[in-house]
Amino acid sequence: MSLTLILGGARSGKSNFALSLAKDKREVTFVATALPLDEEMKERIERHKRERPLYWKTVEEPLDLLSVVKDLDSEIIILDCLTMWVSNLLERHIDEEIIGMAEDIAEYCRKFNGEVIAISNEVGLGIVPEYPLGRRYRDLLGKVNQVFARYSNKVFFMIAGIPLEVKDESK
C-alpha cells in the first residue's frame, strides 16, 4: 500500500521514471487522462502507448479518476497525469470541488492494496501567467500537487531525467 508522486517540468522524464518503477511488475494499469483534442495530441498519445509494454492494461479516463481507481485490481496503477486531469476539470468545476476530488483520490490511493504512481507537472517555477485562467490553473494545480504530496509515501522531483528524492516515509 503506497502512493508515489512524481513531479517535474515538461519533458523532464517523469513518465519514463514511472515506467522504470513499474517495469518488473506483471499487473500494471496505466490510467491516461489526456484528451485527444487535435492531431498532434493524438500522435503524442499513440507514441506514449508504444513506450509501454503490450501486456499492461490502459484505461483512458479524463475526468473520473476516483471511480476508475476504485474499479481496478492491479499490482501497480500509474496515473498519467494530474496535470491534464486538472485541465480537463477546470471549466467544469470550481476550485474547491477539484481540490476535494484530489483529496478523495489521494486518500483512496494511499490505502489502495498495491502501489499507485501519480505523475504531475510542477508549473509554479516559471513566470506568472498573463491571463486569469492561466493563473487559476497554475494555482489550482499547485494545490492539487500539495494534496498528493501530503498523502504520498514517496515524492520525486525530476530534473533533466534525474529523479531527486523529496520524501520517503520508509526512511
The torsion angles phi and psi of 152, rounded to 5 degrees, stand at: -75, 145
In the sheet that 154-159 helps form, which strands lie side by side, from edge to edge?
57-60, 28-32, 76-80, 115-121, 2-8, 154-159, 162-168
Query: What pLDDT is attached to residue 36?
Result: 80
What average pLDDT values come out for the chain (171 residues) when binned by 10 residues? Answer: 94 94 92 88 84 89 95 94 96 96 97 96 91 96 98 97 96 75
Predicted model pTM:
0.94
Distance CA 146, CA 4 (A): 13
Of 48, 138, 143, 150, which residue is the catalytic one? 48
Query: What pLDDT is attached to residue 37?
Result: 81
Catalytic residue check, 48: yes
Kind and range of the H or E run holding 32: strand 28-32
Q: Which CATH superfamily is domain 2-168 in?
A: P-loop containing nucleotide triphosphate hydrolases (3.40.50.300)
